[in-house]
């Protein structure tokens, strides 16, 4: 494993070319340096304007600011300060979600909001569980291997160095991973709670292999990132700074290297010069005023709902159906994972609210097995809901009134396992513009979703597997909830302009200086949580953009060191 030893803390392995963990303050959680962050004027034509500061946009900004690019990131939500803005409370996490109006339809509508949509610096990684598995090599060629889904215009091999690099930057903790491309992790596995122990015992009894991790939560010395305190509120925003999100893993370094993160700025349209066939920047709303930031290159990174919505809302001469949508591909092939959860009941107290919800997982069922009667597969993970999540689980199993209260009182005796089923990319599962408008007068997104037969077979098999695990474990009772998790696709990359939105270098077909870099570019989703792969794609894109720009025009690399946390590392 490469990586450099910290001068400040002998023995601590830190990533190369990313000082975020050292730039953070050891005693406060907010990102230092915001007050001296470089500011660009709207009239400045910056090298790169990124729209959205989540897994894709945050990572890309850090990488290119490091290489001397002049980068501005527009982020619709706030620049979070975990000490000041976040609470250790389930209902109190409401402000972390994208709560603006959207319409959901289709025969199997997907709930949005807290389920899968973030806003603010850090994006939905602020409230993801923390699972960071890699995709398998097979995920990049499901059409060739299994006759379903799509082949990516790039291979696992091209992403692998970026996976490795990001696992050091987050950093990822877990046992050696035997599935897909087997690999280890930089931090050791975390201890697990009683509910995860029970889950693991059940899986073992059923002949299923499980492993601790992989989770992007520090488990050891890592710059000024504190160790996890196991309070169990990963999905409500990590007030500790132990769980990784771009807010703590990439934004501090991006700012130090001269990027501007412009929060509370909602991009509403992309400027397009029809004569030149190029984009010119983006208009955005800030404090109720519409402004326009000029840029040589624009990268949309608003995730699977907002990226298509912005392109569709940016119709221009020659692009009558939205930017990059002349082949009617924008917004199509949006995917979610089938994520039913089954809870098992045991005699002893398990107290699943303790320790991070992501603990042990299995990818034994990840690949296609023809004997199962459907293509592709699923993964199994512990989930551990807090009380409101548990109430939704109990209600979904059909309990109300006294029955609901009884199962709720029984909370501490239960362990919950979930699956992530790889549902297939379908053209009609798409984001379009609804008839209604938001408070700013913009058409809101409508997301239609319907399962296909392969999806239904996969979900049914996965659910049976969870029930079988609890039976093998000797569970006294079980409760089941059907749900979805994650979002990817909507602006997928591909080899042909007729069947995709971008090429392998994230360039929107026909508009050479417009990019998309977020989960929406994924042609398939595997059974893995998408965060790490979104970051790895951004890291790869940055490398390719900078290589293309070439050494001739390479600006000086800025190193503004010796201040703040760097000057006094490890202060207690």
Reference 39, options 75, 78, 70; nearest CA is 70
Q: What percent of the residues of the chain are helix, what percent strand, and what percent coil, each to the nearest 5?
A: 30, 20, 50
With CB under 8 A as the contact rule, the residue among 36, 143, 188, 229 that binds another protein is: 229
For residue 96, the 8-state DSSP code is G
Q: How near is the Cβ of 401 to another protein at its closest, in Å?
A: 4
Q: How many residues bind another protein (CB under 8 A)?
A: 74
User: Which token pair is 107?
Assistant: 């025969």
**Region near another protein per CB under 8 A, out of 17-25, 170-178, 258-266, 388-396:** 388-396
Question: What's phi and psi for 191, nearest 5 deg?
Answer: -65, 155
With CB under 8 A as the contact rule, the residue among 14, 193, 270, 535 that binds another protein is: 193
With CB under 8 A as the contact rule, the residue among 76, 162, 165, 198 that binds another protein is: 198
Q: Between 153 and 189, name the residue whose CB sits nearer to another protein.
A: 189
109 contributes a contact to another protein by CB under 8 A: yes
Cα torsion angle, 228, 164, 492, 299, sign: positive
209 contributes a contact to another protein by CB under 8 A: no
Q: Between 117 and 330, name the residue whose CB sits nearer to another protein.
A: 117
DSSP lists the bridge partners of residue 49 as 72, 298
Q: Between 59 and 236, name the residue whose CB sits nearer to another protein.
A: 236
- CA gap 60, 536 in Å, rounded: 10
232 contributes a contact to another protein by CB under 8 A: yes
Give the contact letters, 493-512, x = binds to another protein (CB under 8 A), - = no: --------------------
Helix (H, G, I), strand (E, B) or coil at 336: strand
Q: How near is the Cβ of 514 to another protein at its closest, in Å?
A: 27
231 contributes a contact to another protein by CB under 8 A: yes
For 367, 454, 458, the CA distances from 370, given in Å and listed in that order, are: 10, 12, 12
Which residues, 6+ apart, have CB-to-CB distance to 245 below 8 Å? 122, 123, 125, 126, 128, 238
Q: How many CB atoms lie within 10 A of CB 549?
A: 17
Q: Between 91 and 496, name the residue whose CB sits nearer to another protein.
A: 91
Q: How near is the Cβ of 99 to another protein at its closest, in Å?
A: 4
355 contributes a contact to another protein by CB under 8 A: yes
- Pairing verdict, β 443-448 and 103-105: parallel
- Pairing verdict, β 298-300 and 48-51: parallel
Q: How near is the Cβ of 137 to another protein at its closest, in Å?
A: 35
Task: Name residues contacting another protein, limited to 408-427 (CB under 8 A).
Answer: 408-413
User: Which token pair is 73?
Assistant: 């990131």
- CA gap 501, 118 in Å, rounded: 23
Q: How near is the Cβ of 87 to another protein at its closest, in Å?
A: 4
Q: Between 89 and 568, name the residue whose CB sits nearer to another protein.
A: 89
Helix (H, G, I), strand (E, B) or coil at 337: strand
Task: Name residues contacting another protein, limited to 239-278 (CB under 8 A).
Answer: 239-240
Q: How near is the Cβ of 117 to another protein at its closest, in Å?
A: 6
Q: How many CA atoms lie within 13 A of 231 on its CB side?
A: 18
Give the contact letters, 444-483, x = binds to another protein (CB under 8 A), - = no: --x-x---------------------------xx------
Contact in structure between 421 and 458 (CB atoms under 8 Å): yes
**Region near another protein per CB under 8 A, out of 79-87, 252-260, 360-368, 560-568:** 79-87
294 contributes a contact to another protein by CB under 8 A: no
Q: How near is the Cβ of 494 to another protein at its closest, in Å?
A: 28
Task: Name residues contacting another protein, limited to 153-172 (CB under 8 A).
Answer: none
- CA gap 179, 66 in Å, rounded: 33
With CB under 8 A as the contact rule, the residue among 178, 184, 191, 555 that binds another protein is: 191
- CA gap 437, 431 in Å, rounded: 15
With CB under 8 A as the contact rule, the residue among 154, 208, 391, 504 that binds another protein is: 391
């Amino acid at each position: 494993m490469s990586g450099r030893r910290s001068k400040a803390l002998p023995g601590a392995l830190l990533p190369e070319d990313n000082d975020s963990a050292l730039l953070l303050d050891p005693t406060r959680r907010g990102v230092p340096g915001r007050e001296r962050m470089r500011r660009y004027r709207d009239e400045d034509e910056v090298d790169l304007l990124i729209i959205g500061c989540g897994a894709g946009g945050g990572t890309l900004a850090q990488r290119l600011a490091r290489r001397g690019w002049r980068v501005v990131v527009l982020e619709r939500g706030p620049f979070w300060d975990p000490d000041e803005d976040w609470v250790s409370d389930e209902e109190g996490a409401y402000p972390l979600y994208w709560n603006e109006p959207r319409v959901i339809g289709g025969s199997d509508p997907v709930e949005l909001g807290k389920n899968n949509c973030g806003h603010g610096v850090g994006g939905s990684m602020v409230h993801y569980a923390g699972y960071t598995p890699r995709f398998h090599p097979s995920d990049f060629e499901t059409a060739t291997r299994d006759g379903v889904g799509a082949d990516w215009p790039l291979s696992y091999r091209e992403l692998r160095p970026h996976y490795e690099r990001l696992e050091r930057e987050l950093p990822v903790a877990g046992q050696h991973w035997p599935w897909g491309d087997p690999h280890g992790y930089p931090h050791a596995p975390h201890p697990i709670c009683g509910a995860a122990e029970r889950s693991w015992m059940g899986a073992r009894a059923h002949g299923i292999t499980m492993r601790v991790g992989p989770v992007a939560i520090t488990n050891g010395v890592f710059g000024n990132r504190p160790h996890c305190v196991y309070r169990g509120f990963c999905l409500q925003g990590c007030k500790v700074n132990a769980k990784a999100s771009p807010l703590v893993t990439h934004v501090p370094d991006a700012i130090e290297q001269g990027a501007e993160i412009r929060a509370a700025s909602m991009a509403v349209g992309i400027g397009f010069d029809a004569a030149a066939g190029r984009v010119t920047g983006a208009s955005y709303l800030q404090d109720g005023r519409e402004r326009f930031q000029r840029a040589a290159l624009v990268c949309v990174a608003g995730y699977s709902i907002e990226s298509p919505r912005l392109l569709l809302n940016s119709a221009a001469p020659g692009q009558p159906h939205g930017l990059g949508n002349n082949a009617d591909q924008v917004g199509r092939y949006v995917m979610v994972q089938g994520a039913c959860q089954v809870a098992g009941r045991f005699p002893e107290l398990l107290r699943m609210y303790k320790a991070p919800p992501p603990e042990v997982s299995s990818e034994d069922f990840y690949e296609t097995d023809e004997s199962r009667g459907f293509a592709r597969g699923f993964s199994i993970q512990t989930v551990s809901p807090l009380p409101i999540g548990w109430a939704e689980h109990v209600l979904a199993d059909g309990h109300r009134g006294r029955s609901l209260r009884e199962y709720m009182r029984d909370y501490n005796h239960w362990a919950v396992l979930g699956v992530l089923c790889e549902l297939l990319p379908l053209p009609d599962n798409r984001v379009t513009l609804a008839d209604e408008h938001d408070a700013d007068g913009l058409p809101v997104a409508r997301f239609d979703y319907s399962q296909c037969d392969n999806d239904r077979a996969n979900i049914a098999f996965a659910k049976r597997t969870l029930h079988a695990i609890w039976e093998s474990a000797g569970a006294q009772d079980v409760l089941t909830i059907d749900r979805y998790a994650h979002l990817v696709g909507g602006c997928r990359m591909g080899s042909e302009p007729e069947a995709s939105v971008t090429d392998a270098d994230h360039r929107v077909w026909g508009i050479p200086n417009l990019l998309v870099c977020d989960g929406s570019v994924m042609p398939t989703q595997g059974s893995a949580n998408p965060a790490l792969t979104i970051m790895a794609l951004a890291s790869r894109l940055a490398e390719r953009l900078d290589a293309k720009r070439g050494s001739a025009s390479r600006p000086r690399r800025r190193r503004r060191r010796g201040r703040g946390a760097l000057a006094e590392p490890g202060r207690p």
